[in-house]
Structure 1
Amino acid sequence: MSKVKAAVFASGTGSNFVAMMNCKELACEIVLLVCDKPGASVIEKAKYFGVQTFVLNPKAFNDKREYETEVLRAVREVGAEWIFLAGYMRLIGHTLLNAYEEKILNIHPSLLPSFPGKDAIGQALAAGAEITGVTVHYIDEGMDTGPIIAQKQVKVLPEDTEETLKYRIQKAEHVLYPEVINQVVRKERLWPVE
């Protein structure tokens, strides 16, 4: 039986993309990487794994709708039923939200609703948080505001720097995200936690 197909959207190094690709029991097949940053190192990683890439600069388009229409065409062309955001640094707009309602997941390096947006790790350190973590959630129009599916705590150590905390958060992400993807794709976990 063929697996459900999915696309990963990423803007940076692609550590979560690699974790998905290395997960032998992933319940779906990653068939496309969408990247909005030409030159991002995730592109080479996708080529290494033999995953088709779709790289385009949003600045080349008149507006978000035009950009997302092109992205949507590419995602539909490969038959992807799910979209997983993995360090994708753009808010998703109506075009993709309407086409993939409750089929777009994101992973964020904090225990949402704490520390949304960019530099969540830096925000946690600056706030003196004793515990932070990772959150997998459905996407909506807001910045990290979609319904939460799962979270995993990561303790902030007194000697932590941004690099050491980031390392432990990424380790947690690389375990949690594939687990949640499997639960959601297999319909074992349909609803977000309250």
Structure 2
Amino acid sequence: MLSVAVLISGGGSNLRALLEAASDPGFPARIVAVGADRECGGLRHAERFGIPSFTVPYPRFATRDQWGDELAAQLDVWQPDLIVLSGLMRLLPTGLVARYAPRIINTHPAYLPEFPGPHGVRDALAAGATQTGASIIVVDEGVDSGPIIAQERVPVLPGDDEHTLHERIKPVERRLLIDVVRRYATAS
């Protein structure tokens, strides 16, 4: 059984979908812990599903590396086979990435390498793109630059704004994430 830790910063809609999938006895992975870089709504999903959670608030540390050291210490408690970044809005320090690579994956609301960074949906709209998408990647030291594991196109419709487009991307992101975690679990 693949053990998974999920790191978040916000509402945790992808986390919730993964928790629901993992609650099926036939799903080959279990969420062992949920971590966040701040207090956020997504931690309530972990609580509802009885999953332990932890918070490593970024502002409490003098450097990103110190924050990463504490995050690694928290992750080490759970010994996850896979770490999923699902809306974590912080770049991981290179030392943390190197420590767990290639066992860290990330969800991104764009068809990478198009529109990397924290505003993929907004950037797609600003560029006048007719399509964007969702991607799951292996995390490396760059910004959304790691190897692509799965991705799917999502059309940009006339009248789309950042909210409506993002809401259409989210279900694709969730489905891809669940499929990728399932593939990791059955490959190990």
TM-score, scaled relative to structure 1: 0.91
* 1:75 corresponding residue in structure 2: 75
Secondary structure at the aligned position of 1:149 is classed as strand
- State how 1:22-33 maps to structure 2 within 5 Å: 22-23=20-21, 24=24, 25-33=26-34
* 1:150 corresponding residue in structure 2: 150
* 2:10 corresponding residue in structure 1: 12
* 1:34 corresponding residue in structure 2: 35
- State how 1:1-194 maps to structure 2 within 5 Å: 3-23=1-21, 24=24, 25-38=26-39, 40-187=40-187
Q: Deviations over 1:6-44 (max 9, x none)?
A: 100000000000010111354211111110012x10111
Q: Deviations over 1:37-96 (max 9, x none)?
A: 12x101111111111111121111121222111111111112212100000011111232
Greater mean alpha carbon deviation, residues 64-73 or residues 137-146:
64-73
Secondary structure at the aligned position of 2:187 is classed as coil
Identical pairs, percent: 35
Alpha-carbon separation, structure 1, partners of 2:95 and 2:103? 13
Question: Gapped runs of 5+ residues in structure 1?
Answer: 189-194
Secondary structure at the aligned position of 1:89 is classed as coil
Q: Is the 8 A contact 2:56 2:70 kept in 1?
A: no
Alpha-carbon separation, structure 2, partners of 1:26 and 1:37? 29
Q: Is the 8 A contact 1:86 1:106 kept in 2?
A: yes
Secondary structure at the aligned position of 1:183 is classed as helix
Alpha-carbon separation, structure 2, partners of 1:164 and 1:127? 16
Secondary structure at the aligned position of 2:4 is classed as strand
Alpha-carbon separation, structure 2, partners of 1:147 and 1:33? 24
Secondary structure at the aligned position of 2:84 is classed as strand
Secondary structure at the aligned position of 1:173 is classed as helix
Distance apart, 1:126 and its partner CA: 1.1
Alpha-carbon separation, structure 1, partners of 2:14 and 2:144? 17
Q: Is the 8 A contact 2:38 2:56 kept in 1?
A: yes
The aligned length equals 185
Distance apart, 1:184 and its partner CA: 2.2
Alpha-carbon separation, structure 2, partners of 1:175 and 1:26? 14
Q: Is the 8 A contact 1:9 1:84 kept in 2?
A: yes
Q: Is the 8 A contact 1:92 1:140 kept in 2?
A: no
Q: Deviations over 1:130-161 (max 9, x none)?
A: 11000100000111001111111101111212
Question: Which letter does structure 2 place at the counterpart of 1:18?
Answer: R
TM-score, scaled relative to structure 2: 0.94
Q: Is the 8 A contact 1:26 1:178 kept in 2?
A: no
* 1:191 corresponding residue in structure 2: none
Question: Which letter does structure 2 place at the counterpart of 1:131?
Answer: Q
Secondary structure at the aligned position of 2:54 is classed as strand
Greater mean alpha carbon deviation, residues 156-165 or residues 13-22:
156-165
Secondary structure at the aligned position of 1:110 is classed as coil
